[in-house]
Every structure is written in C-alpha cells, then in structure tokens.
Amino acid sequence: MPIIDDPALIRCGDREQLGAALLESRANTLRTFACYERSLRATALQVPYSAEVNPPLWELGHVGWFQEYWIRRNPQRARGIAADPDAPRAASSLVNADALYDSSRVEHTSRWRLPLPDAVATRDYLARGLEQTLQTLAQADTDDQGLLYFAWLVLMHEDMHHEAAVYMANALGIPLEADRWPGALPPDPVGPGELTLEATRFQIGAAGAQFAFDNELMPHWVDVEGFRIDRAPVNNRSFAAFVADGGYRQPRHWTADGWSWRRASNARWPRFWRPAGSGWQQRWFGEWIALDEAQPAVNLSWHEAQAWCHWAGRRLPTELEWEVAALTVAAPPAAAPIRFGRVWEWTASAFEPYPGFAPHPYREYSSPWFGSRRVLRGASLATHPRLHHPRYRNFFSPERNDIFAGFRSCAPTGATGSGP
C-alpha cells in the first residue's frame, strides 16, 4: 500500500507525502463533484433542504475554505496543536469567505440561501488554495511538525467531506461511477462465527509521536472482561430475518428513544430497502438492485442495530471492546483480529472524551458533540484507506441512517449461541 494510503504511515508523513496525498484527495473531491454537476444540471446544483446534507456547492467551497483557513491564513501554524485558534487571520483570497463557509458560524439551514460563487469560481478558489498550501509545504523546514500537523488535519478533513459527498449522493439518488462504488463488494473471505477474547488489560487511545485527532489522545489502561464478538458485520440475510419476524412492529425490541424514532420515521424496514417478490431490493445511488444477502447490512441507524441485537439475544460491543478486537490476536482457532472496512460499525458507546482530554485548535471537531452522539468504529467502502485506522473514532447521532453504517454484535464469554 502506498504511504499516502497507509493509515499508520500517513500519521507520520513528511511534507512530500502529505503534499501528494492532498493532490490525490483534491482529485477525488473534484471527480465526485463533477458527478453532481452532471446529475443536477437542470436544478443548478440545488438540492432539497435536509438536516442530513449540505448544498453540494457549499460543501465544495467549505473544503477549500478549511484548507486556506488552517494553512495559509493561520499565523500560528508552526505551533501545531498549541496554536491559538482565535489568533487574527489574514484575509481570504475570496471576498466574504468566512461568512459563507465557516461551518461553526454559518447555521445549517442558512446554507441554502447564501450567495455562493458559481462552480467555476469555486473550483478556482480551491485551486488557488491548494497551490498555496503546496508551496507552503515545499518551502517549510523538513522538521516543521506544526505545519505538518495542520497539513494532515486538512487532508483528513477533505477525505471526510469526500466520503460525505458519496453517501449524500446515495441518499439523494445521484449516480456515481459504478466501478468505484459497486452495489456489491467482492465476497468477504471472513466466514461466519465469532472470536473469543479473554479478559485482559488494554491501553485504549492513540499514543506516540504520530498525528492524531484530539478525541483519540490521552491513552489509558483499562480492564476488559472476556467477550465474544462476530467475525464479520451482521449481513442482509440476518437483518432480513429480523424484519420478517416482525422486528419493526414489536416495541419490546427497541429502546424508548428507538421506538419513538421508528414511529416518527414510519420505518417498516431499512431506509433503502423495498419488497420485491419474495425478497428485497436495495436502492443504490438511485438504482434499485437485488439485495445481496451475503453483504453487510448498511444504512442502518443505531436504533435499528440495537433492536436487532435485542431480538437476537446479543448486544452491541462497546468501543473499547471493538478496539480490543481490532488490535488483539484472538484465541485459537481464530488467531487474527477482526477485519473491518466494509461498513462503519455502530458501538454501544456514547461519544465522550477520554480522561484528561485537551482540545486541539480546531475546537469544533470533538467538544461540541460529546454526549450527544454514538461512536462508530472501522470504515466503509467510501472511506479513504488512510482513514482505516483502528483507533479512529467516528461519531453520529443515533437516528442517522444515510451514512454507510452497519454493526457487528457480541456477547459475554459464558453466553450460548451466536444469534441468527
């Protein structure tokens, strides 16, 4: 795997490696945006308001603004995580950029009414910003770790927004290139069954000199009881059995909040499913395709994952258990840690800071969301490989079913059975 794709090596990348990764990330951004342009030509890139998505043109401009804000315009970039986020900034190369694209100050509903530059001007703004970033990296000292941290941050930010553009396209029914986003992935060589992990003492969280997000830091040791965890995420076949057994009609399988969500959303089965003869179809980037029972169930909310686990006599793993399973060699005969990367995986854990948490300069990344969101671990088919890191903490509100999220289940070591 090239260094720019390796999730561990990119966290200690040098200026040349980060520069190459930024170029590649921008190419992904523009390629996917071109699909939006082709599909939304008749509506001038306008999409209906939704709390789950952003206007595509705003998304594109925000990516460029974020890079410029934290690299060229940041007077304290050399200080890295010690930089003062409120230090006065140089002016943007785009008039009124802060009032258009600063996501911490531009309220979500207002983004549909902003006087945004058109696509040509927005792409030009992004091109200028990327050129300035690459020049800054080329002229920097090789050991300028502060600048390299911010280069890594803006790279991860753009990769995340590209993934958001992909799952937004799926939710909006916008076709993307079928060769890049196939309706079914190759069969997973990991078979059914589960791993057994014995009680252990484990260090959770990122450590060392590598770049890391603030919510991953402050590694600490914890005692973990033994548990069993699925080798692979729950697949469509198993989730369809829950649907067929009346799972969406039985409040006893749902938490109180989950049942309220199910009633309010009128959910009778997963969001992008529909009955087709004796089986199911799945909507995938605007096309209805036969549901592949062997594929991981996806586009599920945390509430749906919880309900399935109750029905199956299982539970969601905590994020601690998930990280243990991803990094620990299990007991024979299954000697490898779990594999991940096909769907994001909901955990039982609320998104909370680790003990001793200290926010990084990008204050809005973690702190505003503590206590209100649930942690997902792993990665999805739309996640760039360099984000497939076992310590990376993703987090969304529990009702979200537009993201490429599924789950795997677990049980205590003394439990019997492994669910349907």
Listing DSSP states for 284-345 in one string gives ETTEEEE--TTSBP-S--HHHHHHHHHHHT-BPPPHHHHHHHHHSPPSTT--SPPP--SSEE
Closest CA to 307 of 223, 375, 251: 251
Contact by Cβ (8 Å): 214, 393 = no
Mode of pairing for the β-strands spanning 405-406 and 394-396:
unpaired
Record: fold of 194-412 = paralog of FGE (formylglycine-generating enzyme) (3.90.1580)
- Candidates 213, 230, 202, 191; CA nearest to 327 is 202
Q: Please name the residue that has the structure tokens 């990296």.
A: 137
Q: Where are the beta strands (DSSP E) in 150-255?
A: 194-197, 200-204, 220-224, 227-230
Residue 337 CB burial class (10 angstroms; 0-12, 13-18, ≥19) = middle
Could you give the C-alpha distances from 107 to 21, 202, 342, 363, in angstroms and in order?
30, 41, 32, 17
One-letter identity of residue 276: A
Per the CB < 8 A criterion, the answer to whether 76 and 137 are in contact is no
Q: pLDDT tens track of the chain, all 420 residues?
A: 688 899 999 999 999 999 999 999 999 999 999 999 999 998 999 999 999 999 999 999 999 999 999 999 999 999 999 999 999 999 999 999 999 999 999 999 999 999 999 999 999 999 999 999 999 999 988 789 999 999 999 999 999 999 999 999 999 999 998 888 888 777 777 777 899 999 999 999 998 789 999 999 999 999 999 999 999 999 999 999 999 999 999 999 999 999 999 999 999 999 999 999 899 999 999 999 999 999 999 999 999 999 999 999 999 999 999 999 999 865 565 556 888 999 999 999 999 999 999 999 999 999 999 999 999 999 999 999 999 999 999 999 999 999 999 999 999 986 554 444
Environment class of 339 (CB within 10 Å of its CB; exposed 0-12, middle 13-18, buried 19+):
middle
Q: For residue 168, which of 81, 89, 286, 253 has the smallest C-alpha distance?
A: 286
Residue 172 to residues 146, 292, 299, 304, 416: CA-CA distances in angstroms?
Answer: 39, 21, 13, 21, 42
User: Can you give the pLDDT at residue 335?
Assistant: 57
- Helix (H) or strand (E) holding 395, with range, is strand 394-396
Q: In the structure encoding, which two tokens stand for residue 57, read together? A: 């043109």
Give me the pLDDT at residue 208, please.
79
Q: Does a cis peptide bond (omega within 30 degrees of 0) precede residue 332?
A: no
pLDDT at 59: 98
Q: According to the model, what pLDDT value does residue 420 have?
A: 44
Please tell me the predicted confidence (pLDDT) of residue 328: 85
Kind plus residue range of the DSSP H or E element containing 38: helix 15-39
Report residue 183 as tokens: 């309706």
pLDDT for 284 equals 96
Per-position b or e across 293-305, b if 16+ CB within 10 A of its CB = eebbbbbbbbbbb
